[in-house]
A and B are shown apart, each in its own frame.
Chain A
Amino acid sequence: MACIEAHGLRKSYGKNVALDGVDLRVDDGRIVGLIGPNGAGKTTALNAMLGLTPFQGDLRVLGRNPWSERDLLMLDVCFIADVAVLPRWIRVSNAIDYVAGVHPRFDRAKAERFLSKTSIRAASKVRELSKGMVAQLHLALVMAIDARLLVLDEPTLGLDILYRKQFYDSLLNDYFDRNRTIVVTTHQVEEIQDVLSDIVFIDRGRIVLTATMEEVESRFAELMVSPANLEAARALKPMQERQALGRTILLFDRTDRTRLAALGDVRTPSIADLFVAIVGNRSQGFVQ
């Protein structure tokens, strides 16, 4: 069954179109990176999936309409909408009591086990914790909930690299299994590309690419070419051309790797480079 299924999903704020007909399908057990420039509609799309905002079009999350069946949906869906949305006045122990008191699928022992590995004390108030510790606390609360879909919107924004790495390590090692689905947005694409199983590029309210990581590897290739072979390589119609360290790098979509290999070094592009190529090219008329 599809965890998330959207057809013609639309949302506008006045004249400003945030989602312009999004079609998307996310299967169970995937870790999907929703990647887009600022204002592309990432947060709006997530808010629609979480029943935080009404929308037009067809959208089902775990088989439910997130807007009209929100209360039921929240038993199976969990989200971290932003860094530091935990109330500043709450004590760590109170936060655990509260979630245990309202969520039937919360495992208190699991949350406490996770927190015991950190330097967060149960008697502390959230306002006394550093930003990184607040993120750890929030993650501990969320990971102890046996949810089927976890949505993370910029969960590590403003954290230092150690906390960011730890955050995703915990998520992968202590939380993720094949029964769960994770959707994550972030600007630090390079850091999570090994974590993801799928990527979705969104730009100006439209999906411009959806692919599994395997598809990215087989479909896209980056060629480092020497000046002598440049014209031959350009003849193969690269999507994008850029200069790095005095060499030319060309990015190809669905081009035979053996032919490229004859012209220079071939490798799989990073998600960040792919993103720049696809989303950057869209303004120059590149159509997916």
Chain B
Amino acid sequence: MNTSSNAMPDSPAGSHEVAVTASAPTRPFFWSLQRELWENRYIYIAPFAVTAILLLGFVLSATVGIWQRPLHIDATQSPEKLADPFNLAALFIMGVTFIVSLFYSIDCLYGERRDRSILFWKSLPVSDLTTVLSKAAIPTVILPLFSYVLTVAVQCFMLLYSTLVVAASGQSVAMLWSKVHLFQMSSGLLYHIVTGHILWYAPMYAWFILVSAWSRRAPFLWAFLPPIGIGIFEHFTFHTRHFLGLIHYRFSGPESQLKGHEAMGGMFSIDAGAFFSAPGLWIGLVFAALCLAAAVRLRRYREPI
């Protein structure tokens, strides 16, 4: 009924123009993501900056050996020792991406209300669901995958540069390549990012996004103080630490639930069967979905601050 009665009034002059412009394909989700990248350039500049510092340090260390001797390969070196700078690079890039994601998710729905631009965004046919999902995709999908690609690129560069240094100093390139397992490292890293940074941390980011949609001021405090407050209350009242344990469990990653499980390759290995059968994973994902649903609903009601 609506469509037919709506179609009538603009038929004489408007119909031609509508017919032309209505064919323009729109991609609200894509452009919402694009908007986030325009607005929050720090989310990719910070990881790039850390990468630049890392590479500079690595190059200096491998070439002139500021702290120790320059890159040196011999048969007695363990592969773990050689892999150290590679793992360290991964750790730093993921670490800075994590911090950036945290800042981003706490600010994303608060910032648009603070600068009143929400009135502009809401004047366009982009639903609250699309907006919230596009913002949630940044810390839960886009940034983890970006940090993965960046890390792999850095590790490739490090291996190539090491090869050059090793070859130039007349050492055995074959020995270097036999000890540094780039493919194994990067596939392990991808697994770690998908399980840990995407699936395991999703409820944490969703909680931050909910706080961002809800709070009228100081979203950072609201993000952290209530959980800490509940923990302290529980500790003093019941002399237990279940809630704090729950938070620690979430922050410290899925590995902590499987203490005693032999880790196969350092920081990024946990048995897939154990991970996907852990109730903590699924409860967390349900919690994440509820937080995002609440954030969508809140964004409908919220006005500029």
Contacts and interface: CB of A to CB of B under 8 A. Distances in A.
Interface stretch (A77-85, A163-171, A219-227, A252-260): A77-85
A35 to B, nearest CB: 21
Nearest to B112: A87
A86 interface: yes
Interface in A87-137: 87-91, 94, 97-107
A146 B115 contact: no
B10 interface: yes
Contacts of A30: none
A103 B116 CA distance: 21
Interface in B107-137: 112, 115-120, 122-127
Contacts of A178: 13
Nearest to A95: B120
Nearest to A29: B9
A86 B116 CA distance: 8
A71 B127 contact: yes
A187 interface: no
B17 interface: yes
B22 to A, nearest CB: 5
A79 B34 contact: no
B8 A105 contact: no
Contacts of B112: 87
B120 A87 contact: yes
Contacts of A82: 116, 119
Contacts of B2: 63-64
A199 to B, nearest CB: 23
A228 interface: no
B116 A85 contact: yes
A93 to B, nearest CB: 11
| Residue picked from A52, A76, A82, A148, most chain B C-beta under 10 Å | A52
Interface stretch (B24-32, B213-221, B287-295): B24-32
Interface string B24-52: 10111011101100110000000000000
Given A76-B6, A82-B116, A89-B38, A98 B17 contact: no
Contacts of A76: 6
Contacts of B127: 71
Contact of A106 (B24, B39, B117): B24
B60 interface: no
B301 interface: yes
A215 interface: no
Contact of A87 (B12, B26, B117): B117
A244 interface: no
Grouping DSSP codes into helix (H, G, I), strand (E, B) and loop, the A interface class, with mixed when no group exceeds half, is loop
A23 interface: no
A105 B9 contact: no
Nearest to A27: B9
Q: Interface range on chain B: under 10, 10 to 19, 20 to 34, or 35 or more?
A: 35 or more
Nearest to B18: A146
B237 interface: no
Contacts of A271: none
A104 B129 CA distance: 18
Given A74-B124, A101-B26, A62 B6 contact: yes
A58 interface: no
Given A102-B126, A179-B14, A52 B303 contact: yes
B125 A75 contact: yes
Given A1-B9, A76-B6, A101-B31, A54 B301 contact: yes
Given A1-B9, A63-B2, A86-B117, A105 B21 contact: yes
A273 interface: no
Contact of B125 (A28, A74, A91, A148): A74
B13 A94 contact: no
A177 interface: yes
A194 B74 CA distance: 89
Contact of B28 (A50, A84, A86, A102): A102
A270 B162 CA distance: 83
Contacts of A89: 38-39
A90 B40 CA distance: 11
Given A82-B116, A86-B117, A100-B24, A179 B10 contact: yes
Contacts of B28: 101-102
22 contacts: A50-B122, A50-B123, A52-B122, A53-B303, A62-B6, A70-B300, A71-B127, A74-B124, A81-B120, A82-B119, A85-B118, A88-B115, A94-B38, A97-B34, A101-B30, A102-B26, A102-B28, A104-B125, A105-B21, A105-B24, A178-B13, A179-B12
Interface of A: 1, 28, 50, 52-54, 62-64, 70-71, 74-76, 78-82, 84-91, 94, 97-107, 138, 142, 146, 148, 177-179
Given A74-B123, A85-B119, A179-B14, 14 more contacts: A62-B6, A85-B120, A88-B117, A89-B38, A94-B38, A100-B24, A102-B26, A102-B28, A102-B31, A102-B32, A102-B125, A107-B17, A146-B18, A179-B13
